[in-house]
Amino acid sequence: MIKPLIIDIDAKSPLPIYEQVKFAIKLAIFSGYLAEGDQLTSIRDLSVQLKINPNTIIKVYGQLEEEGFITSRQGSGYYVKIDPTKVHREKYEVFEELSAEYVHKALGLGYTVDDILKLVQQKYRSRNRSEDPKEPPHASD
């Protein structure tokens, strides 16, 4: 069963398209939506779905394979296979990047880091263990 990838491409982003797709797939893997061993959408299907040049998807999958997120199996496609030696900082870097965006905007409104911490504590303490079924059962933090 191939789980569909829902990726929003921003034509006006400073990030090149292949970076956007790569990031989206990494997020899907880290969030647990794509589990270890899951098969990825084929290059042809993903390129038609996103209306992107297939060679770009080939580049994305190639780089993801090199970076230790997926592996290709001869004749059957690409599968999620995390190489822990390569992918240990990645998840944290994604976390950092997502946080940076939020914190930057919050600080821009005039709030302080303490305000941010207080808000996060108040609003999100109850969601320490997510009820979201997409999250893997035991995420090692």
Partner 1 sequence: MLQIKNLSFRYGKHRVFQDFGLDVPDGQVCLITGVNGVGKSTLLKLFAAVLRPDAGTIEFPKSMAQDPKRKIGFISDSLSLYKSLTVGQAIRYHRDVYSVRTFDDNLIRHTKIERGQRVKDLSAGQRTIFHLSLILSTEPDILLIDEVIHSIDAYLRKLFLDQLIALISRRSVTVIMVNLNFYDIEHIVNRVILLRSGKILVDEPIEELKAKVKKIVAAKQPAALAVLSQSDFSGYSEFYVYPYEPGLAGDIEGNVVDLNLTEIISAFIGGEYAEQGIS
Using CB under 8 A, pick the residue from 28, 40, 52, 64 that binds partner 1: 52
**Only segment of 28-36, 46-54, 99-107, 125-133 that touches partner 1 (CB under 8 A):** 46-54
The CA distance from 118 to 58, in Å, is 44
The reply to whether 9 sits near partner 1 by the rule CB under 8 A is yes
Check residue 14 for interaction with partner 1 (CB under 8 A): yes
For the CA atoms of 39, 44, 50, 52, what is the dihedral angle to 10 degrees? 130
Q: Tell whether residue 48 is a contact of partner 1 (CB under 8 A).
A: yes
Query: Residue 34's closest CA among 78, 85, 75?
Result: 78
The alpha carbon of 18 is separated from its chain's Cα centroid by a whole number of angstroms, namely 13
Instruction: Give the binding range for partner 1 (CB under 8 A) out of 8-16, 32-40, 90-98, 120-128.
Output: 8-16
